[in-house]
């Protein structure tokens, strides 16, 4: 698929916003389901890109910066794989190949992240000097420069992929044998399961497990739509908030009259 000039500009703009949101984390443009959907929207390939974004989002659930360990770059993986999917022209049939390319791209994006953060360290020192001088204009300028640098971290690779064109990308995807694409598709499914298991492991508490079990069972009911599931989720959240106001408010075994530990369901269970 060949993109016109307006589409190319819009794709680069989405890539730029995704790079900035990787740091700002306000509108979540860097999240795969949003970044891929936006690229699909501006290129006219909304359906395949939405499927790609949803699948990558499941993988990215387990990606988190822990201590000095930096997670793979979800923004670069989302943008690059979505562009490759669109240029490949295979539609939803090329999703598995795009996912196979996205994971190594996410790991490779760590290098760009390290470079950007190294440069940002120098910018911080410049901003410290501007703060000592009392120059708010310089502070704002270098703040904008640092944020734009994060945007270019994704926009430049996206522009390079677009510059290569649809032909080489399509030829590369067609050269991949069936056993490789099928294997990568299976591997991608396993990565999704691992990512989901990692996020559950971080969230798992006795207070969360009942809600997880209810949602897991309800998700198997085929008659329920996403709107229905969302309504049930909101209802459970309201129930949880209600419990948080009453948890630990009764008598406690230590005689203090307040055993609120911050876990509302756990506090109510302890009351019994």
- Assign 17 a pLDDT band (cuts: 50, 70, 90): very high
Residue 220 pLDDT > 90: no
Per-residue pLDDT of 79-103, as tens digits, reads 988 998 888 777 777 787 777 777 7
pTM, 2 dp? 0.63
> Using DSSP, how many helices (H) and how many strands (E) does the chain show?
11, 0
Lowest-confidence pick of 51-65, 162-176, 195-209, 258-272: 258-272
Instruction: Find, among 35, 46, 28, the residue nearest to 13 by Cα.
Output: 35
> Where exactly are the structural domains of the chain?
5-177, 209-271
Interior angle at CA 89, CA 85 and CA 92, nearest 5: 60
Q: What does the pLDDT average to over 210-237?
A: 81
Question: Residue 253 has what pLDDT?
Answer: 45
The answer to whether the CB of 18 falls within 8 A of the CB of 145 is no
Residues 197 and 204: their CA atoms lie apart, in Å, by: 10
Residues 213 and 234: their CA atoms lie apart, in Å, by: 16
Question: Residue 104 has what pLDDT?
Answer: 73
Residue 60 pLDDT > 60: yes
Question: Residue 165 has what pLDDT?
Answer: 72
Residue 73 pLDDT > 90: no
The answer to whether the CB of 29 falls within 8 A of the CB of 21 is yes
Question: Which run of H or E residues covers position 116?
Answer: helix 95-133
The answer to whether the CB of 16 falls within 8 A of the CB of 152 is yes
Q: Whole-number mean pLDDT of the chain?
A: 78
- Assign 195 a pLDDT band (cuts: 50, 70, 90): low
Structure tokens at 95: 């999703």
Per-residue pLDDT of 126-179, as tens digits, reads 999 999 988 889 999 999 999 999 999 999 989 988 888 756 755 665 676 777
CA 184 to chain centre: 21
């Amino acid at each position: 698929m060949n993109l016109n000039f307006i589409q190319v500009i819009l794709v680069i703009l989405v890539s730029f916003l995704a790079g900035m949101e990787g740091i700002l984390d306000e509108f979540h443009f860097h999240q795969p389901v949003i970044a891929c959907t936006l690229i699909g929207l501006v290129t006219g390939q909304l359906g395949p890109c939405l499927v790609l974004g949803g699948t990558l989002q499941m993988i990215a659930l387990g990606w988190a910066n822990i201590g000095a360990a930096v997670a793979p770059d979800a923004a670069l993986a989302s943008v690059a794989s979505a562009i490759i999917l669109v240029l490949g022209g295979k539609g939803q049939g090329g999703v598995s190949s795009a996912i196979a390319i996205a994971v190594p791209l996410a790991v490779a994006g760590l290098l760009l992240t390290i470079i950007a953060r190294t440069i940002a360290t120098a910018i911080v020192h410049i901003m410290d000097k501007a703060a000592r001088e009392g120059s708010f204009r310089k502070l704002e300028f270098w703040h904008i420069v640092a944020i734009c640098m994060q945007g270019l971290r994704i926009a430049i690779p996206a522009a390079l992929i677009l510059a290569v064109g649809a032909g080489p990308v399509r030829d590369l995807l067609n050269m991949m044998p069936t056993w490789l694409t099928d294997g990568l598709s299976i591997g991608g499914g396993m990565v999704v399961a691992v990512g989901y298991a990692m996020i559950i492991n971080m969230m798992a508490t006795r207070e969360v497990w009942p809600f997880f079990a209810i949602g897991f069972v309800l998700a198997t009911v085929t008659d329920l739509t996403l709107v229905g599931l969302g309504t049930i989720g909101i209802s459970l959240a309201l129930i949880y908030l209600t419990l948080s106001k009453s948890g630990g408010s009764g008598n406690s075994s230590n005689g203090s009259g307040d055993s609120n530990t911050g876990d509302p369901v756990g506090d109510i269970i302890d009351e019994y």
